């Protein structure tokens, strides 16, 4: 490598959360799991399917 480039570690980019419109704001590392707390970058309350304004109801855990 003639000109290596290094950048500050960025969890949002590493996890590709920016593609989902999210930003990582915290993390919790445990022996059996890692949890990333995210926030929505730009609030968009409209449903793409029905066109009605939506209401947030819960959180989602992905495994």
What does the DSSP assignment read for 2-57? -S-------HHHHTTGGGGTEEEEEEEEETTEEEEEEEESS---B-TTT-PBP---
Q: Report the pLDDT value the prediction gives residue 32, as an integer from 0 to 100.
A: 93
Q: Report the pLDDT value the prediction gives residue 30, as an integer from 0 to 100.
A: 93
d(CA 37, CA 4): 31
Q: Which of 18-27, 32-41, 51-60 has the lowest mean pLDDT?
A: 51-60
Give 46 or 60, the one with higher predicted confidence.
Answer: 46
pLDDT band for position 24 (cuts 50, 70, 90): very high
Q: Report the pLDDT value the prediction gives residue 8, as an integer from 0 to 100.
A: 76
Query: Average pLDDT in the 24-45 region?
Result: 89
């Amino acid at each position: 490598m003639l000109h290596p480039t290094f950048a500050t570690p960025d969890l949002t980019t590493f996890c590709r959360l920016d593609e989902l419109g999210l930003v990582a704001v915290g993390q919790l590392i445990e022996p059996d799991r890692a949890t990333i707390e995210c926030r929505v970058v730009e609030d968009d309350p409209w449903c793409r399917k029905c066109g009605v304004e939506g209401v947030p109801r819960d959180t989602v855990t992905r495994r």
